[in-house]
Amino acid sequence: MLFIRSRTQWPALVALSLGYTQVALGIQLDLSSTQSIKNAASTVAHGMMSYYKGNESGMSVGLLPDPYYWWEAGAMFDIMIQYWFYTGDTTYNDVVTQGLLAQISEDKDFMPINQTKTEGNDDQAFWAFAAMSAVEMNFPAPPPKQPSWLALAQAVFNEQAHRWDTTKCGGGLRWQIFTWNKGYEYKNSISNGGFFQLAARLARYTGNQTYADWAQKTWDWMEQSTLLTDQYNIYDGADMSNNCTVPIELQWTYNVGTFLMGAANMYNYTDGDPSWRTHTEGLLNGTKVFFPQSLGGNIMQEVACEPQGSCNNDQPSFKAYLSRWMAATTQIAPFSASFVMQKLQASAQGAAKQCSGNGGTTCGRTWNTATWDGKQGVGEEMSALSVIQSNLISKVAPPVTAARGGTSKSEPAAGTGNSNQVPADPILTRKVTMGDKAGAGILTALVLGGLLGSTWWISFGS
């Protein structure tokens, strides 16, 4: 999901085949009207879910079709849980529930056997985020014989805590879970940020200090690493071959976003601890690079790829997560609201205007222009939906906790296979087959081809 996994650039072949014309219609959006925001969100949600075929006969439930990767389906379902919460529209709830439950394994975690060749810690975290959103928003519970949403999130936490690696770099999670995958020797911010955020949200929801301790431990590791600067810039990651001393200085919206969400939850969990307020404010300041002054200072841009037109198939969705997590921060760290909302409002207006392709419903990527840029896909729709519906944040209740309105059943030992201790993950210790190696080799070739073909090596100063 990151610069190493910078997959082959996919040109906008669909747009070209349709012979698109550049028009400036866009989706009507009046931010002073709750109904207007809901209507705009409904239009974009329909466009995004039209890409999902998992509820059609003969298709794979819970998966997006090629060229989309497994993790992005989990992220999409998360955005749709939020859509239900913001709008009250239940149209997609059954599809979301079926999709999420289809991607759990026999061990009742997000480690399905069909992903064992490619799944990374960051990928798994995005499915856990969807489960955690279901917990915090009291999304309808799974059927009785299925694990609860909270148990699924707890299982991912337990598995990732067991993967904490002290062999090099003083700790942290590796990007990849499996030894045969390229990226196993790389420690990145989104994997560690995902674990940090999950731990913080579990701490706030359950009140269990163990989760908070892990969140603090992860933050401390980031602070001593080269990945988090004094100015709260968050770099992509670092290779373990040099003990993580040389960071890749790419900055992505979702990296600062996931740490912001975690820090805000820790601020809330600790009843306003000044250190967590400092970190939350610092991370808010760290988002400014994604709201360039050249665009007025309030329009979100994926600065590492968007201006150059080099975004790969994953990256157009990244703005969805920063939008979501900035909005959520205003509820659990209210001091952030004035800073956040001016940016989400301007970005939503820009996104709605950019949803002007193919007759005025297809969303593009560049929110600083009302003329459709010809880009389209799940990521573009997801980012537009997220930033538009995030403007309803003041109209909905804050996330529940176990003590205040939460209903999802807790299973603290989920994912461990043992009520007393965390054993070795069985998928990590099973014998590697030739099929595994061959499949991983093909995927690695694709990964490296994408890296050489589309990554821009950009660093941003403080």
Given a contact cutoff of 8 angstroms between Cβ atoms, the answer to whether 415 and 154 are in contact is: yes
Residues 6+ apart with CB under 8 A from 35: none
Confidence of residue 425 (pLDDT cuts 50, 70, 90): very low
pLDDT at 53 > cutoff 50: yes
CA separation (Å) from 265 to 8, 83, 196? Answer: 36, 21, 10
pLDDT at 144 > cutoff 70: yes
pLDDT at 303: 98
255: which 2 tokens? Answer: 């990296």
pLDDT at 46 > cutoff 70: yes
Strands 247-248 and 237-239, sheet pairing: antiparallel
pLDDT at 19 > cutoff 80: no
Confidence of residue 417 (pLDDT cuts 50, 70, 90): confident
Express each pLDDT in 23-43 by its tens digit: 457 999 999 999 999 999 999
pLDDT at 437: 41
pLDDT at 430 > cutoff 80: no
Q: Which amino acid is at 77?
A: F
The residue that leads in pLDDT, 34 or 434, is 34
pLDDT at 8: 35
Given a contact cutoff of 8 angstroms between Cβ atoms, the answer to whether 310 and 455 are in contact is: yes
Q: Write the DSSP symbol of residue 188.
A: E
pLDDT at 63 > cutoff 60: yes
Give the CB-side neighbour count of residue 239, counting CA atoms within 13 A.
7
Tell me how far apart the alpha carbons of residues 340 and 344 are, in angstroms, rounded to a whole number: 6
Q: What is the mean pLDDT of the chain?
A: 88
Confidence of residue 317 (pLDDT cuts 50, 70, 90): very high
pLDDT at 418 > cutoff 60: no
pLDDT at 162 > cutoff 70: yes
For residues 259-285, average pLDDT: 98
Confidence of residue 361 (pLDDT cuts 50, 70, 90): confident
Tell me how far apart the alpha carbons of residues 329 and 285 are, in angstroms, rounded to a whole number: 13
pLDDT at 102: 97
pLDDT at 4: 40
Element counts in the chain: helices (H) and strands (E): 15, 3
pLDDT at 6 > cutoff 50: no
Range in 6-20, 190-204, 280-294 the model is least confident about: 6-20
Tell me how far apart the alpha carbons of residues 365 and 15 are, in angstroms, rounded to a whole number: 13
Tell me how far apart the alpha carbons of residues 156 and 305 are, in angstroms, rounded to a whole number: 30
pLDDT at 360: 79
User: What predicted TM-score, i.e. pTM, was given to this entire model?
Assistant: 0.87
Share of the chain above pLDDT 70, in %: 85
pLDDT at 40: 98
pLDDT at 116: 77
Share of the chain above pLDDT 90, in %: 82
pLDDT at 24: 53
